[in-house]
Structure 1
């Protein structure tokens, strides 16, 4: 990590701070202007990355953006979002509304988290970033290594796409409950995990990073998979062109913009995923229009590269298309949704993923969190051969994990009719996220 900073960079930062003080952001939240949504308008001095900052705040609150109009041409940033909660209702929670005002209003510093990726330090946990080739049971092996090294996974998220896997895991020392700080132990963790990720695959690399950095997990996952080139399509024969997002890029010569249009099935966080990818590819969004009120979402972006130029070649155009397709597909999970809640303990993740592996389950996507001593877990699982999980397998797992801990809703045997196949992915074997109850539900997830 480069820590030196030039005098000119310092002056640029001071100039940006001055501009923000002279033109503080203005946030207006209106629950009367629209019948079916809360309208949030943000006006501010324009800065590179400000759009991602705003979208990130709304996404982290699990708000659904149904419409958006964005304009940041010149020195001023103006955009309007129509948002609802997860149930499709207007946002009326005073705590949420106050948080939006504080996060996006005059008290906020939009550039802070953009510049703090991999910089802020935390002594509460150690962050482990993993990328490598996906295969059945990989998480089971990773979590077993961490358990043997006396580490507890307190939170994590794993994405898989196009035969690649990436994870951000937060672990603590088993004895102290705090971050692992011993340099030799950290080096050992990195070495062993990297060996597991490499496996017998010599054609694609594996990467393990261990630090105390505080990052935005979902943005880091996008960055990690982008760096791992998961957008380079593997012809697995499972996803035809008609099922992929429709992404197009053309140049508008009169205005010197490139126009990106995206049509895809709507899902939560779709806007964040596309804006995050454009930002990390160093494109600036000057204007945009978003419409996601129906089952299909339509997004239109007028962009230039950060150097001021539109897309220059067909090769660049194809790369933009591929990267946006990958960003949209990474979150798509299908299969049986498993939700579990139980008392947290060291080795729990290792035990659960081992049970999945022993019952021939493959996890397509998963998340992990612990809160107040509880491990709350979410898995999307399929049979290792790609078929839905049958009731006998579910009952076998319930017998091992516990009938009261694991509950089933819906029919495990019934595959969802007309469901789309997602790109081949095996996932590490299982992971978790916060829930207050335990259930299985057969769905295709876009969360």
Structure 2
């Protein structure tokens, strides 16, 4: 009797059908028919299990051993509807439940599908697909409490194996007990306790940012790839050079451009020079940092307009040795300043370097230029003069030495092709 009850149990028949991949067919007939066609659930009255050797039909109103959180059993119709739509999202499933119940009401039928919550649906589908236990499934009537789990997990295998061996749909109780002791092997869903497939399609979109493929013959033009010479997404900051505002400084905004770009020294107070300047831009290729794009250097005489992060972009400070120049700097003490920034002193050739500059150490590079000649000063009204060849060569040599020191210090501080250092 117990074996017969087990074979006719709705949940075990359902689980056996899932395990053997036999179709479940809603129908209007209580008589099993192997060639029966599926009837819409709103009109069906029975569910046909196409098991071997003969199909079995059970009414859709049959209560099952699967209960909700209040202990009320779900009928076979609700269980079948929940499993048929287990891959639907929660809003989609709830919408289909309301739609089906509306069809029942419009047809004057008292049937109703009871919605299953997400957790209840997950537990139900996981058990139907091979899980060993489910707390919401009551044991079979008449089965000992110690054998509840075996009757649940082993019954489908026993029923399938017994039906294929006996050919009669019944099984000897002793043989059923043997089959109930077998360990059922589950699929990946039962082992991982899940049924929802994971969608990794978003990984393809993320990987497209890091993978580049050169198009070959016959390759589609829509192939996702990065350009070979992709431009940086952010603008590179401009390095800053601070000049001394002292009137005794040989290099001011009026003549620094000619000196650093052309290696030509002109007195800062020459009449032909523009004295109404607040800042200058000098463009130069720094091969060891970015050989393809010129860097634009900003030259100013004061730091009044500086923001805090501007100090990370200062690459050189020109000085005459007067400490009042550093009074408004981030590091007002020269010994602290030149630990962070490269210092530059420019004097006349054959003049002694001030003792104050010497005391600041190797972090202040000293160089010299030739004195301006009176014969050259007479030409300033017409054009900027060109000094003699040997003098021009010595001034250019001094400018190159300054640039070499500045660029070396920039590499040390962490200047890169598309970024400046975050601290110096």
TM-score, length-normalised on structure 1?
0.18
Higher RCO (CA 8 Å, separation ≥ 6 residues)? 1
Specify the structure having the higher radius of gyration (Cα).
2
Give the structure with the higher percent helix: 2
